[in-house]
Amino acid sequence: MNIDGVNTGYMLDHIEAGKGLAIYSFLKLDQAECTVAIIQRADSTKYGKKDIIKIDGDIPIDCESLGYMDPNITVNRIRNGRLLEKIHLELPETLTDVIRCRNPRCITSVEQGIEHRFRLADRENARYRCVYCDAEYTD
């Protein structure tokens, strides 16, 4: 299979196999005015299988949220067909309005308009805690 390269935009590489569509939805790429290609379960020497998303358009990418979704993603910024920057993601120290606190007694459950903020509590196990009530986030 042959997928053309990106002239100006991004290539999201090393996405865990099967997560490409979730990332596509999260980034709202269905609403993008540019060309987007999703490659699923491509062979990878490092991971066995991986997904890749190619975005041929200079749109905003939230790298912190992507790092939460899959910290192994590599974001390649491309301009005029050449690699401009390679960003290796990791779990962010804080998340704002990416996940929601499920504690019914948390202020975010009672008050409208308060940001849902979490801090990284355990990097090894990718565990986050609400900054308001200290409840651990679970999927």
Residue 51: give its domain's CATH number.
3.30.70.140
Over its length of 139 residues, how does the chain's per-residue pLDDT go in tens digits? 456 678 899 999 999 999 999 999 999 999 999 999 999 999 988 889 999 999 999 899 989 889 999 999 999 999 999 999 999 999 999 999 999 999 999 999 989 899 999 999 999 999 999 999 999 998 7
The total domain count for the chain is 2
pLDDT for 45: 87
Q: Is 12 helix (H, G, I), strand (E, B) or coil?
A: strand
CA distance 132 to 41: 39
- Structural domain including 22 reads 9-88
**Same structural domain, 68 and 118:** no
Any domain includes 109: yes
**Same structural domain, 49 and 114:** no
**Same structural domain, 72 and 100:** no
Q: Nearest-CA neighbor of 131 among 107, 112, 111?
A: 107
pLDDT for 4: 66
How many CB atoms sit inside 10 A of residue 122's CB? 11
